[in-house]
Amino acid sequence: MTLTNINIPRLQLEGMTKIYPAVIANESIDMTIAPGEIHAVLGENGAGKSTLMKMIYGVIKPDRGRILWNGEPVDITNPAHARKLGIGMVFQHFSLFETLSVAENISLAMEDYGSLDDLSRRISEVSEEYGLPLDPGRMVHSLSVGIRQRVEILRCLLQQPKLLIMDEPTSVLTPQAVRKMFATLRRLAAEGCSILYISHKLDEIMELCHSATIIRGGKVTGYAVCAEESAASLARMMIGRELPTCSRKRPDVEGQECLRVNRLCKIAADQFGTSLERVSFSVYSGEIVGLAGISGNGQQELLYALSGERPVADRGAITIDGESVGHLNAAQRRELGLGFVPEERLGRGAVPGMSLSDNGILTAHRHGMVRKGLLDFGRAKRFAQKCVTDFTVKCGSVDDLITSLSGGNIQKFITGREILQQPKLLIVSQPTWGVDIGAANIIRQAMIDLRNNGSAVLVVSEELDELFEICDRLLVIARGRVSPSVKVEKTSKEEIGLWMSGMFPGGPVDTNKARELQSEGCCVD
């Protein structure tokens, strides 16, 4: 690609409109993208950003408006047509087949890739070059959310697009991976590739993007040159008011041990997972403990063990309020006061075919929604409405299917559902993934308030800024080992970054062999 015909826009949108029965998703949106331009699209959750991108990519048809590609009107009929034009898209919600391998998933979006072996070699080479290493033979169902994000990104890069649409591409990437990806995007832009970049991380927008279009309520409310704006001014344009801030003030009280993990060992369920080795830590009531780590280092296995979805043989390896729960299932642990927000929103955090109200019942039914064995749907709707109101979830009503919401609004609803139950122990994975900056602060403040009311909170996140903002202590997981804890005020992002590579006291060893673990008296199941 070269920077020829730079006076002709790569992409022009004129009057793009999409209307659904309950909402106008996009109304008369105009936007122009030049060759080699990195253009941000900013807006709150539900503002209409993803709908607009899907119209460009041919996933949905606009009701009005037109698209000009390299100065010529074009009717993009479907994603295959978009790819032929040179448009690639990284979706916020992954579009991968779980029963296929990485290479097989990528092959579905490519026409001339030779043999699967040839494609696998190319995947290995390109993924290493871009700093997003992937095993092309791995089955997608065995991948963590962060690794699946890499597959989506690499699938687009292999197509050498002329326009690359990225919808929250760094939500589950580490800071190191983000830096590498930014270098790649700048190189692509220098070669003439245009990039449409959706992110709620304003520091990323300021660092990477040349210009921005701001959307609020389905309408364009402004345009900006990023170098001439501050994060605060962009936030005001995006949400229409001053950005809310979190209050970290906490009561000066000594809490009781609420969660204890004692020498937890667990062999990974599949060959691509990460086994847990002698994991030990505690979380006390009245504190927030953060668990940092590069995706795929055992977070998934640890969360399955803590939630009760995959119980462990040693019942004493996990205790809640002094009671051994290692052998208990998820429902039994919830009865003891556990609240849990998984990183997978749909399928694990919520049921796609159910309404908001019914999804609220799934975990909150024990809070007065069952009378004499019958569900009280009126109470369930009132609870769901409180989730919507308190966590600013944008929806038509609590009777809407949860899949009708944007990704960030689904996350807000699921998180609100768990926090409003006032659990003794709340375990949250990636709490603000894909959530706009205003709503992210609402979620963070809700977790802080929960802590101040005496609950214990464990936050698993790859967002170091978030962990340093809300946590009292930090842990790091690397290759199935968990570091000693350190108070936030006594460490730095640089030190935690080193620990994320395994360089902490008692860090990872070179073997996960079960025999060695068993010889040390460590429970392995």
pLDDT of residue 310: 94
pTM recorded for the entire structure: 0.70
**Average pLDDT in the chain:** 87
Residue 104 and residue 102: Cα distance in Å, rounded? 6
Measured distance CA(34)–CA(52) in Å, rounded: 18
Nearest-angstrom CA–CA distance, 287 and 305: 21
User: Does 513 score more than 60 pLDDT?
Assistant: no
What is the distance of C-alpha 179 from the center of its chain? Answer: 18
Residue 307: pLDDT above 50? yes
Distance CA 164, CA 439 (A): 27
Q: Is the pLDDT of residue 516 over 60?
A: no
pLDDT above 70: residue 28? yes
Statement: residue 494 has pLDDT above 80: yes
Does residue 2 register a pLDDT over 50?
no
Burial-class residue 517 by CB neighbours within 10 Å (0-12, 13-18, 19+). buried
What is the pLDDT confidence band of residue 394, given thresholds at 50, 70 and 90? confident
| Confidence check: pLDDT of 417 > 50 | yes
Tokens 């860090």 belong to residue: 507
Question: Among 124-128, 305-309, 316-320, 379-383, which is the least confidently predicted range?
Answer: 124-128
Determine contact, residues 321/258, Cβ cutoff 8 Å: yes
pLDDT at 400 over 90: yes
pLDDT at residue 87, as a whole number: 94
Q: What contacts 225, CB < 8 A, 6 or more positions away? A: 210, 211, 212
User: Helix (H, G, I), strand (E, B), or coil: what is residue 365?
Assistant: coil
Residue 173: per-residue pLDDT: 65
- Return the pLDDT at 215: 93
Range of lowest pLDDT (186-190, 307-311, 511-515): 511-515
Confidence of residue 93 (pLDDT cuts 50, 70, 90): low
Residue 149 scores a pLDDT above 90: no
pLDDT band at residue 148 using 50, 70 and 90 as cut-offs: confident
pLDDT tens track for 151-189: 888 888 888 889 999 987 776 666 666 777 888 889 889
Q: Which two tokens stand for residue 348?
A: 């694990």
Q: Is the pLDDT of residue 372 over 90?
A: no
For residue 49, CA distances in Å to 41, 167, 195, 328, 356 come to 7, 9, 14, 42, 22
Is pLDDT larger for residue 5 or for residue 153? 153
Q: Characterize the bridge pairing of strands 219-225 and 72-74.
A: unpaired
Query: Are residues 311 and 328 in contact, defined by beta-carbon separation less than 8 angstroms?
Result: yes
CA 522 to chain centre: 33
> Using one digit for the tens of pLDDT, what is the confidence trace for 194-253?
999 998 888 889 999 999 999 988 999 999 999 898 888 888 888 776 666 667 676 666
E strands in 111-208: 163-167, 194-198
What average pLDDT does range 352-362 have in this prediction?
94
Q: What is the pLDDT of residue 402?
A: 94
Return the residue matching tokens 């295959």: 80
Question: What is the amino acid identity at position 316?
Answer: G
Mean pLDDT of 142-150: 77
Phi first, then psi: give them for residue 139, nearest 5 degrees. Answer: -75, 140
Domains of the chain with bracketed CATH: 11-239 (3.40.50.300), 245-337+423-525 (3.40.50.300), 349-415 (no CATH)
Instruction: Give the model confidence (pLDDT) of 309-323 as tens digits.
Output: 999 999 999 999 999
How far, in Å, are 9, 70, 73, 85, 88 from residue 4 at the CA level? 11, 11, 19, 17, 20
pLDDT band for position 131 (cuts 50, 70, 90): confident
